[in-house]
Structure 1
Amino acid sequence: MTPKSNGTGTPDVGNLYHVLLSTSHIQKDPNGAIEKLRICATFTDLKAAKAEAHKTLFEAGYEREWFTEYETNQEEFAAHHIKRRTGLAVFAKAQDGTIFRTYVATTPNVQGFEGDPEEHKVHFGLYHVVETIVLYDEDDSGEARETNVEGSFRTYDEARKFASEVLLAPEDGVTKDSFDQYDEAGPTEKDCGYGDNVLVHAIGSNGENLLVSVLKGQELESVRLTEAAIRIRSFN
């Protein structure tokens, strides 16, 4: 679909707003995955995306009393020294220490995807290229990290091709040799050995780890997530 023109001859691509849900529990399993990330929905309107982000946990089947902490405004995020506040809508902590974050990530709508006229939600399936930067120089636990959605595509193959190039800029002299280490999945592989769906892993000159993944957008499965929440509650 061709992006609309803004009247200046330059395409007016607008933005896509993605609702992300992350869960993490470093203390519970220090040798396991630090964070699990889902892209729950994509919108063409920021207000609609923010509204969805604020109700994501409840729509997934969680209940307010299951959390020992539940914050929803920037003042509280700052007062409690919560890290990674960009786009953050909800910060919650379960009794066992599991941390839930819902937030909104913004990307240019270069494909010209259209949302529902009323909900502004993109209802067809998308594959998202996600870049995570792990800042070990700030926190050797791996908790200090930044996550960005770099692009969204209708097919996995399109997303995979973009993911293989997202860290590189040959025209600016940035190649695979620019990194202290650069690993990528083979043509028939779905990951490069650094986590599910991670197609590229690189280490920058300052020690930062960069992970590029392709994630399929998925509606939350309320029954499965509710059962997980019940287990969280029952262990306390």
Structure 2
Amino acid sequence: MASSTQNTSVSKANLEENLYHIVLTTSHIQKDPNSVIEKIRIAGTYRTLEAAKAAAHSCLFDAGYEREWFSQYEVDPAALESYRIHQRMGLVVFAVASDGTTFRISISTTPNIGHLTTDNEDGRIATDLYYVVQTNVKYANGDEGQDRDVNIEGIFMTDDKARAFAHSVLLSKEDGITKDSFAEYDEAGDNEGDCGFGENTVIHAVGINGENYLISVIKGQTSESIKLAEAAVRIS
């Protein structure tokens, strides 16, 4: 499979060589009891961990939410461990709205391969970015339990390059991994936005042991665009 850009072990010497991404995931327990359907947004990329943490803590409020709208809102690191389902990301905020919608705001760390820089005081990369995100779902006990992992595999300046890379993530000529290596393999066509397994999902595959793999191409969003999208959802 294509190599990952994820770096889960970060030393102080490498801090300036990394990027920190705010990953906002939402799921609705009433509509989807097993949280299989999970919407992923990238709410910004930052040059320092401190800037990313500050952005993560303000993410929901920047999106137009207010504290009293949540029946549960947790930021204590010790308490967050029990809500952490994305093993390669650091959970910063866990919140549940009154309608049952669950929000997880995490920070994902990747090497700054493209040497991206910014002059913004808040440390945010201002350039439009497209993220190739891999989600792995393993069912631990039928449909009753699951292990979920979300990983940013690549960051690109254009949608075309991101989509081209996305189609190679699960395959490897060197290791002999082809589409036929999977029990199921679905992919979006050239003129299709997704492959029928969720918004932005261009690849869906099922391993021989039942693992589900979802490869998505997600354009980064500003807090204002997330605010507009969330407002539309609340109105509907």
Residue 211 of structure 1, aligned match among 188, 209, 214:
214
Once the 2 structures are TM-superposed, how far is the Cα of residue 205 of structure 1 from its aligned partner?
A: 2.4
In structure 1, what is the equivalent of residue 22 of structure 2? Answer: 19
In structure 1, what is the equivalent of residue 75 of structure 2? Answer: 72
Over alpha carbons, which structure has the higher Rg? 1
Whether 1:123 aligns to 2:126 is: yes
Whether 1:84 aligns to 2:85 is: yes
C-alpha distance after superposition, 1:86-117 (max 9, x if no partner): 31110001112110111111122222211236
1:72-221 to 2 correspondence within 5 Å? 72-78=75-81, 81-84=82-85, 86-116=89-119, 118-138=121-141, 140=143, 144-220=147-223, 221=225
- AA aligned opposite 1:44: R
Once the 2 structures are TM-superposed, how far is the Cα of residue 209 of structure 1 from its aligned partner?
A: 0.4
Give the % identical residues: 51
TM-score scaled to structure 2, two decimals?
Answer: 0.82
Kept in 1: contact 2:28–2:35 (CA 8 A): no
Once the 2 structures are TM-superposed, how far is the Cα of residue 141 of structure 1 from its aligned partner?
A: 6.0
Q: Which structure 1 residue ranges, 5 or more long, are not aligned? A: 1-11
Once the 2 structures are TM-superposed, how far is the Cα of residue 18 of structure 1 from its aligned partner?
A: 0.8
- Partner of 2:205, secondary structure, is strand
Once the 2 structures are TM-superposed, how far is the Cα of residue 36 of structure 1 from its aligned partner?
A: 1.3
Kept in 2: contact 1:133–1:211 (CA 8 A): yes
Once the 2 structures are TM-superposed, how far is the Cα of residue 121 of structure 1 from its aligned partner?
A: 1.2
Distance 2:104 2:228 in 1: 19
Supply the RMSD in Å over aligned alpha carbons: 2.6
C-alpha distance after superposition, 1:143-182 (max 9, x if no partner): 6421111111000111011101011121122222222221
Kept in 2: contact 1:34–1:142 (CA 8 A): no
Distance 2:190 2:118 in 1: 33
TM-score scaled to structure 1, two decimals?
Answer: 0.82
Once the 2 structures are TM-superposed, how far is the Cα of residue 33 of structure 1 from its aligned partner?
A: 7.4
Q: 1:111 to 1:22 in 2, by over 3 A?
A: same
In structure 1, what is the equivalent of residue 57 of structure 2? Answer: 54
- AA aligned opposite 2:230: L
Distance 2:65 2:229 in 1: 11
Q: 1:217 to 1:17 in 2, by over 3 A?
A: same
Q: 1:218 to 1:193 in 2, by over 3 A?
A: same
Once the 2 structures are TM-superposed, how far is the Cα of residue 226 of structure 1 from its aligned partner?
A: 4.6
Distance 1:13 1:89 in 2: 21
In structure 2, what is the equivalent of residue 7 of structure 1? Answer: none
Once the 2 structures are TM-superposed, how far is the Cα of residue 74 of structure 1 from its aligned partner?
A: 2.1
